[in-house]
Structures are given as structure tokens and as C-alpha cells.
Amino acid sequence: MIKQTQLAQAAQSALSAWEGWNGLGVAGRAQLLQHFIAQLDHETAAMAQWQISQALQRLDAPLEMQGPTGESNLLSTSGRGLFIIAGDQQASKIAMVGQLVAALISGNVVLLAPHASQTGFCRDLLRQLVAGSCPAAAAQLLEGADSVLELSQCPSLAGIACVCDDVTARELNRQLCSRDGVLVQLIAETDSHRLPLIGSEQYLYRFITEQVCTTNTTAVGGNATLLELGGLNE
């Protein structure tokens, strides 16, 4: 059983690193995470590299969109905030690494809550992350939870990504929907063997939020034209 005070303290500590980590951008985070990947075995490294490659391809460069009235719209992505990464006894090391790296490369900070059988492995992962120059607060180990269901009331939570069965996923979704405030994202991988969700090209989109910066140049151009016409009349 995990205490709510423990959850609150861990959440506050992780969120203290979010602005700086998110501000590095995809390329900056990828550079730091490459040092971490170099320490992994072949299979887990391949999963981590897949997530980073997808982020560089799909999230890194802002998308320019021309507006209907001539304005410029720049679409970019940002991390959502704090994610809990969890796994039941069926969660493989590859799955845990895939979830962890997906959340981090997308610009989120993480509380890693593995099943007891994976605690030692996840502790080593976080040690390797810090050795690779990632901020220690950006990814922290959360021990003591008997089930991911205990973690649904974590304060300031943006989302939970977990490997679990269908029953647990439905109950967790119900608990998250009952929270007050902003809806918490649930990313549940229920096929612990094939990992179709974690290995999909769309997986990273679940960890980000979109933001648009609009620059309206039409008013400036119109005013300049009016000034020119006024000058001619004189």
C-alpha cells in the first residue's frame, strides 16, 4: 500500500523538473537519452531507439500552416506534465523501457511504478538515466504500490501509461474519469506479449499536447495600404 502523502511528495518533486525538461525540445532530450540507450541491452535499446526516432520524425519540427485570411499558424507539441509509468507482473523489460522513453522524449516527467519483480531493473534504469545527464527529478522510482489502481489519485497527474489486463484497464479508466478537474490520460497496453500499442507509430501522440502560435500580418498590411492611400490624397 502506498501513502497519498508519498504520492504527493513524489509528484511535486517530479514537476519541479518539468519546465526545464520540456523546454529542451525533442532534439535536446534525444541527445541526452542517447547516452542512456548506449547502456541498454540490444532488445531494450531497440525499443528505446524506436521511440526516439519516432519523436524526431513526428514531434520535433513545428508544422507551418497557412490560415484562411493570410495569417501564419505554427503548430508545435509539448509534454503534458507528470506521467505515472506502471506495469503488472506480465510487463516485460522492453515494455517498461518503451513506456518510460516515450513519456520522457515527448517532454514529460515520470514516476516509475513497476511490479515488485521489476523494481531492481527499474532502479538500474533510472541510475543509468542520471548517469546519461538526465535530471534526477525528471524520472523517479515509486515503490510500494500493490496495484496501479492505487495511483489514480496522484495529484497534478497528466496521465498514466501502464501494462495491465483488460479488467484493470477498465477499472483504472473509471477511477480516472471520477477525478475532478482536467481529464487524466490513460494509455493502457493490454497485450503484454506483442505490444501493439507501445510499438505503434501513433503511440507518442498520446503523451503530448498541441499548441498553436498565430501571427496575424493582415492587419499590418491593411493599415500600411491605408496610410499609402492617405498620402496620395494629400
What are the tens digits of pLDDT across the range 122-168? Answer: 999 999 999 988 999 999 999 988 899 999 999 999 999 999 999 99
Strand-pairing partners, residue 184, are: none
Give the pLDDT confidence of 178-219 residue by residue, as tens digits: 999 989 999 999 999 999 999 999 999 999 998 777 776 655
CATH number, domain 4-62+79-209, options 3.30.1490.20, 3.40.190.10, 2.60.40.420, 3.40.605.10 = 3.40.605.10
Give the pLDDT confidence of 11-59 residue by residue, as tens digits: 999 999 999 999 999 999 999 999 999 999 999 999 999 999 999 999 9
CA atoms within 13 A on the CB side of 40: 25
Which DSSP state fits 117?
A: G
Residue 163 has a CB neighbour count (10 Å cut-off) of 29
Predicted pLDDT of residue 227: 47
Predicted pLDDT of residue 73: 79
CB 217 within 8 A of CB 71: yes
Q: Specify the pTM.
A: 0.89
92: left (phi over 0), alpha (psi -120 to 50) or beta: beta
Q: 3-state DSSP helix/strand/coil percent for the chain, to nearest 5? A: 50, 20, 30
Q: Give the position of cell 521511440.
A: 51
Give the pLDDT confidence of 69-104 residue by residue, as tens digits: 667 778 789 999 999 999 999 999 999 999 999 999
Order of strands, sheet of 109-113, starting from the edge strand that comes earlier in the sequence: 139-141, 109-113, 82-87, 159-163, 185-189
Q: Where are the domains of the chain?
A: 4-62+79-209
> Is the pLDDT assigned to residue 226 strictly greater than 70?
no
Predicted pLDDT of residue 217: 62
Return the C-alpha cell found at 214: 498565430
Which DSSP state fits 10?
A: H
Strand-pairing partners, residue 63, are: 75
> Is the pLDDT assigned to residue 229 strictly greater than 90?
no
* Residue 232: pLDDT band with limits 50, 70, 90: low
CB 188 within 8 A of CB 95: no
Q: Give the position of cell 496521465.
A: 159
Torsions phi, psi of 91, nearest 5?
Answer: -70, 125
Q: Give the position of cell 510500494.
A: 144
Alpha helix stretches (DSSP H) within the chain: 4-15, 18-23, 25-37, 42-58, 93-105, 119-131, 166-177, 218-233
Q: How far is CA 226 from the centre of its chain?
A: 48
For the chain, the maximum distance between any two Cα atoms, rounded to a whole number of angstroms, is 84
Predicted pLDDT of residue 210: 83
